[in-house]
Amino acid sequence: MQGHGNQMNPEGNVPFIVDEDYVLCDSHAIVTYLADKFGNDRWYPKDIKQRKNIQQLLQFNNTMLNMRLKDIMAPLVHENVLVIPPEKMRGLQESLTLMESLIHDEGWLAGSHPTIADCCCAANVSCCVGIFPELKMPPKVASWLWRCAKELPGYDELSTFNIKEILAEVAQRMG
């Protein structure tokens, strides 16, 4: 990133948004900001306990799903590594297994309907499924992801685009 964009986003993070003169450079910060600014209570409730539960789920997404996926993908994409260490795949599998315990009986991460936590986690779980079909998807996670695909607005377009883009990048690096 060069020029004016580099001044607004010096770390070069993706995604980032500019809303008038306000710049945000983290996906979870962006989604919570947009939900507060444009959304209703359904996606990111104002109730402090519900909100903290969603924030905890966003942290799970960031520290477990995203980081473990990134630990596998970064060497493939940036270092031309061709073999994924088994312990990294086990870590990703463990994250999915742990996620199963976080899904409520109503079928969503934070209760009876989807929230921004479901949107964010669905992005990473979709990448896991699309890139590593050999992963054993825990039953509740598989059912939850199916619900996400059916009920989250724009899910199909976004998840398919991201997975195709990632796979194309890895294929290009591998020759």
State the pTM of this model.
0.85
Among 13-17, 99-103, 137-141, the range scoring the smallest mean pLDDT is 13-17
DSSP letter string, 89-158: HHHHHHHHHHHHHHS-TTSBTTBSS--HHHHHHHHHHHHHHHH-TTS---HHHHHHHHHHHHHSTTHHHH
- Decide if 4-38 and 48-174 have a common fold: no
The predicted-structure confidence for 11-60, as pLDDT tens digits, reads as follows 766 788 899 989 888 889 999 999 999 988 999 999 999 999 999 999 99
DSSP-based three-state secondary structure for 27: helix
Lookup result for tokens 């020759």 = 175
What pLDDT is recorded for position 78?
81
- Give the integer Cα–Cα distance in Å for 124 and 67: 10
CB-CB contact of 162 with 126 (8 Å): yes
Fold held by 48-174: Glutathione S-transferase Yfyf (Class Pi); Chain A, domain 2 (1.20.1050)
53-99 confidence digits (pLDDT tens):
999 999 999 999 999 999 998 888 788 788 899 999 999 999 999 99
pLDDT score recorded for residue 2: 44
**Statement: residue 156 has pLDDT above 90:** no
Lowest mean pLDDT segment, chosen from 97-106, 122-131, 157-166: 157-166
Domain locations along the chain: 4-38, 48-174
- The superfamily in CATH containing domain 4-38 is Glutaredoxin (3.40.30.10)
Q: Which amino acid is at 138?
A: P
Q: What is the pLDDT of residue 131?
A: 85
More confident residue, 26 or 122: 122
CA 119 from chain centre, in angstroms, equals: 7
